Homo-oligomer: A and B are copies of this chain.
Amino acid sequence: MKNPLIITIGREYGSGGRQIGQAVAERLGISFYDKKIISLAAEKSGLSHEFIANNEQRVRNGLMQNLAASAAYSSGFFSGQYLPLSESIFISQAQVIRDIAAKESAVIVGRCADYILAGRENTVNVFVHAPLEARIKRIMELYHLDEAAAMKAISTSDKERGNHYFRYTDQKWGKAQNYDICVNSALMGIDKTVEMLVSMANIEERV
């Protein structure tokens, strides 16, 4: 029997990647994981949900920071016991992602899921991006921000996601060759992009 189908979605902030992932999961009738992973990982690691949510994408490069984090880390049974906190969060999320992939078909947004599941059969890795103007417009509307605030949020998030991805995968975020399909969501719009990904997933299932 084939592995369950996993679609991983990496996305630029404001590209609509999360919304696209959710719609694809609904259309295919499979599970959708995004922030939910945080909760599941939190339970596994013994770290609080709030702590993970606040720290999972803030990569600490300084040695002192890592040492400080290690020293502060006092949680129980999890194998990342002597690791800096950021590593522990990553490892616990990776375990959650592998557990999902072993038992059910799902769309998983972010969290380096493409890298964590590298080499797995029946996995389609997607990256969603959009031109800056389109992303600014989307963020302004979605969060009722002015242009400057939207630009700042985008630039901060891109930097954090890029750093996070590079730190854990040693790969450049948004490099075409790391995904099966990368798409500019502004070209066809959200709905048509969803349609395209759904028919791709159906083709892949039939192969």
Contacts and interface: CB of A to CB of B under 8 A. Distances in A.
Interface string A108-128: 000000000000000010010
Given A12-B177, A188-B203, 15 more contacts: A127-B176, A127-B182, A174-B176, A175-B176, A176-B176, A177-B184, A180-B184, A180-B187, A181-B181, A181-B184, A181-B187, A182-B183, A192-B203, A196-B199, A199-B199
A207 interface: yes
Nearest to A181: B183
A177 B207 contact: no
A175 B174 contact: yes
Contacts of A187: 124, 180-181, 200, 204
Interface residues of A, number: 24
Interface string A189-207: 1001000100110011001
B188 A182 contact: no
Nearest to A10: B176
Contacts of A204: 187-188
Contacts of A183: 180-182
21 contacts: A12-B177, A129-B176, A129-B177, A174-B175, A174-B176, A174-B177, A175-B176, A176-B182, A177-B184, A179-B184, A180-B184, A181-B183, A181-B184, A181-B187, A182-B182, A187-B200, A188-B200, A188-B207, A196-B196, A196-B200, A196-B203
Contacts of A124: 187
Most buried by B among A176, A180, A188: A176
Interface string A63-89: 000000000000000000000000000
A165 B128 CA distance: 23
